Amino acid sequence: MIVTASEERWRSHGKVAVVTGGSRGIGEATARLFVWHGARVVVADVEDIAGEHLAASLSPSLFWSGCST
């Protein structure tokens, strides 16, 4: 497999991404993309139920924590 320079910069294996507001919408899509690229992801959001469902669907690569800013 040949990996181009532009693909290499998106590799996230061994990295951790923190996504705030990541339980739904753009934040959820961002969290899923990071997981797809091999990162471990921490999602913080006030949406308890949505966050728990997201964590269950992407476990063990994603950890969800409820928070309020």
Res 30: pLDDT: 95
Q: What is the mean pLDDT of each run of 10 residues along the chain (69 residues)?
A: 59 88 94 93 93 93 88
Sequence-separated (6 or more) residues with CB below 8 Å from residue 50: 23, 24, 28
- Give the residue extent of every domain in the chain: 2-60
> The pTM is what?
0.80
Res 14: pLDDT: 84
Helix 25-36 and helix 48-58, axial crossing angle in degrees, nearest 10: 20
Pair 42, 58: CB distance under 8 Å? no
Pair 64, 37: CB distance under 8 Å? no
**DSSP secondary-structure letter at 38?**
T
Residue 15's closest CA among 44, 35, 43?
35
Res 20: pLDDT: 93
